[in-house]
């Protein structure tokens, strides 16, 4: 794939507070990346700089082979979609979508509107006003309006965060197909790592204004490299360890044949560590059931060490969940464990 966008050494401050420091990033044609990180890490600021909505930053932005660092937002031809859909309340759905393509002939404009309404599943709502639509339907209109001018790049800043979970999940399931059909590259900002993994080909993790990881979702999950990233991925508990003279590690759950380059650190045991395949190497761990809750179609169980405070989460079939306080021995796949530092 050829390169569409390149950010080089982007830095930005608000007064004396640094928002971004030396951020470099590339994006290929039709590729989808997600920027994730906690509030205040700089992900929305970076998105706004790409869009041309923030000025005074350092660094260089090249888009479709042209340096657009100083180009105003309206000349960048980049699509934008934010959490607030900002539809024109006095316009119909059709008129809202048509807003950015008035330069097309009437026939071409109507064909584009019809195609987009079909794409987002809103043909029957063409003449309705935004007030007559649900939140999810309004976001579909906002998406169609963003795609109408056929941008090669679409920027989305937590576009579904205000929607109910079921509506959000439905739109997230559809979005990759919609973006692929339009052949549009995407930068998607979210604080939800599961959402990012559902949308993106690559995950870009940000912390305190820096890009600290840039990799595909599977690699990020298999090798988080730090407790910070593990927590972003929803892995809440980390088991401390000490490397012994044999090269394995000692943990509150016993000795494990896991190699560590660090003398001390933490072991990540992801909740699906028990989903081993035939022939995979595994070990058994014994602990005490501290807590459990339904996370359909599984039950997520918190397992604590028999002695001490260490614990981790583990997904089990609903029919096999033991009682709180009972002792349990489980099989954990060695290939699903990872070593990280405390940072």
Which structure tokens are listed for 90? Answer: 């006095």
Helix/strand/coil for 129? coil
25-43 per-position pLDDT tens digit: 999 999 999 999 999 999 9
- For the domain made up of 3-222, the CATH class stated in words is alpha beta
215-225 per-position pLDDT tens digit: 999 999 988 98
Which structure tokens are listed for 32? Answer: 């989808």
User: Percent of the chain beyond pLDDT 90?
Assistant: 68
The pLDDT score that the predictor gives to residue 280 is: 67
Average pLDDT estimate for 171-179? 90
The pLDDT score that the predictor gives to residue 59 is: 97
> Domain segments of the chain: what residues?
3-222, 238-340
Whole-number Cα distances in Å, 89 to 95, 121, 129, 134, 208:
10, 20, 7, 13, 38
CA dihedral angle for residue 211, residue 212, residue 218, residue 221, rounded to 10 degrees: -130
Q: Using CA atoms, how far apart are residues 227 and 233, in angstroms rounded to an integer?
A: 10
251-301 per-position pLDDT tens digit: 999 888 888 888 898 999 999 888 766 666 888 899 999 999 998 788 999
Band of residue 123 on the pLDDT scale cut at 50, 70, 90: very high
Band of residue 183 on the pLDDT scale cut at 50, 70, 90: very high
The pLDDT score that the predictor gives to residue 108 is: 95
The pLDDT score that the predictor gives to residue 77 is: 93
> Helices 106-119 and 135-147 sit at what angle, rounded to 10 degrees?
140
Average pLDDT estimate for 172-195? 92
Judge whether residue 204 has pLDDT over 90.
Answer: yes
Judge whether residue 141 has pLDDT over 80.
Answer: yes
Q: Using CA atoms, how far apart are residues 282 and 339, in angstroms rounded to an integer?
A: 16
């Amino acid at each position: 794939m050829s390169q569409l966008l390149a950010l080089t050494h982007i830095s930005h401050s608000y007064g004396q507070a640094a928002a971004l420091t030396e951020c470099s990033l590339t994006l290929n044609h039709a590729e989808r990346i997600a920027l994730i990180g906690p509030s205040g890490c700089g992900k929305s600021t970076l998105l706004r700089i790409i869009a041309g909505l923030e000025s005074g930053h350092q660094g260089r932005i090249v888009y479709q082979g042209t340096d657009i660092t100083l180009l105003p937002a309206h000349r960048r031809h980049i699509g934008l979609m934010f959490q607030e859909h900002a539809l024109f309340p006095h316009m119909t759905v059709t008129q809202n979508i048509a807003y950015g393509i008035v330069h097309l002939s009437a026939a071409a404009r109507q064909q584009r509107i019809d195609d987009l309404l079909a794409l987002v599943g809103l043909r029957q709502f063409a003449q309705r006003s935004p007030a007559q639509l649900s939140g999810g339907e309004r976001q579909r209109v906002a998406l169609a309006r963003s795609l109408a001018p056929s941008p090669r790049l679409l920027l989305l800043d937590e576009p579904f965060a205000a929607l109910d979970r079921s509506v959000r999940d439905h739109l997230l399931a559809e979005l990759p197909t919609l973006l692929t059909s339009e052949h549009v590259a995407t930068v998607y900002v979210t604080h939800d790592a599961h959402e990012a993994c559902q949308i993106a080909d690559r995950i870009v993790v940000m912390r305190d204004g820096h890009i600290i990881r840039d990799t595909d979702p599977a690699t990020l999950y298999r090798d988080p490299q730090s407790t910070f990233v593990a927590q972003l991925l929803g892995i809440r508990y980390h088991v401390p360890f000490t490397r012994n003279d044999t090269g394995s590690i000692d943990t509150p759950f016993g000795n494990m044949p896991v190699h560590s380059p660090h003398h001390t650190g933490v072991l990540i045991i992801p909740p699906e560590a028990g989903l081993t395949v035939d022939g995979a190497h595994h070990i058994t761990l014994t602990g005490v059931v501290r807590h459990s809750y339904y996370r359909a179609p599984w039950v997520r169980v918190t397992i604590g060490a028999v002695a001490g405070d260490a614990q981790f989460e583990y997904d089990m079939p609903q029919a096999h969940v033991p009682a709180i306080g009972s002792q349990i021995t489980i099989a954990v796949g060695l290939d699903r464990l990872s070593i990280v530092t405390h940072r």
